């Protein structure tokens, strides 16, 4: 018989030699993203973490024409999205997606961008 074609575009078994008819398990479904802050999760799988910042600090993270956030994305390897403030809020949510290492690096670079701006008044 011809080799199994992994690139078929329909949802139906391809005849009696299909693995579904031989009792084989179905193909693996990608693991869902972990949402929220779960710092004890040390898997190479993709995770999502969200942090909140005051709206007035967004410009020092985004940078002129987005150059700073682009640099942080490239250096960390993480996907980073900065939401607009919700109606009635002065805060923005930053969503960071990647491996645990990528998220950690992105958070570090985000904190450094805020500190270097001189707008940060924390410890």
Q: For the segment 59-114, what is each residue's pLDDT rounded down to a tens digit?
A: 999 999 999 999 999 999 999 999 999 899 999 999 999 999 999 999 999 999 98
98 and 79 in contact (C-beta within 8 Å)?
yes
Tokens of 58: 């967004």
Question: Which pLDDT belongs to residue 43?
Answer: 54
Q: Which residue has the tokens 């949510």?
A: 93
Strand spans (E) along 1-123: 47-54, 79-82, 91-98
Q: Which CATH number fits domain 31-117: 3.30.1370.10, 3.30.56.10, 3.30.1280.10, 3.90.550.10?
A: 3.30.1370.10
Residue 48's beta-bridge partner residues? 97
How much is the pTM?
0.61
**For residue 5, with 0-12 CB atoms within 10 Å meaning exposed, 13-18 middle and 19 or more buried, which class applies?**
exposed
Alpha-carbon 123 to chain mean position: 28
Question: Which pLDDT belongs to residue 112?
Answer: 92
């Amino acid at each position: 018989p011809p080799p199994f074609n992994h690139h078929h575009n329909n949802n139906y078994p391809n005849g009696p030699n299909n693995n579904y008819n031989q009792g084989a398990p179905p193909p693996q479904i990608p693991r869902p993203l972990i949402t929220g802050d779960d710092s004890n999760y040390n898997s190479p799988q993709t995770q999502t973490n969200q942090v909140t910042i005051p709206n007035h600090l967004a410009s020092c993270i985004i940078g002129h024409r987005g150059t700073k956030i682009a640099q942080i994305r490239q250096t960390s390897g993480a996907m980073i999205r900065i939401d607009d403030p919700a109606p009635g809020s002065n805060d923005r949510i930053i969503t960071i997606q990647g491996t645990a290492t990528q998220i950690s690096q992105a958070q570090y670079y985000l904190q450094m961008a805020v500190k270097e701006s001189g707008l940060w008044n924390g410890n």
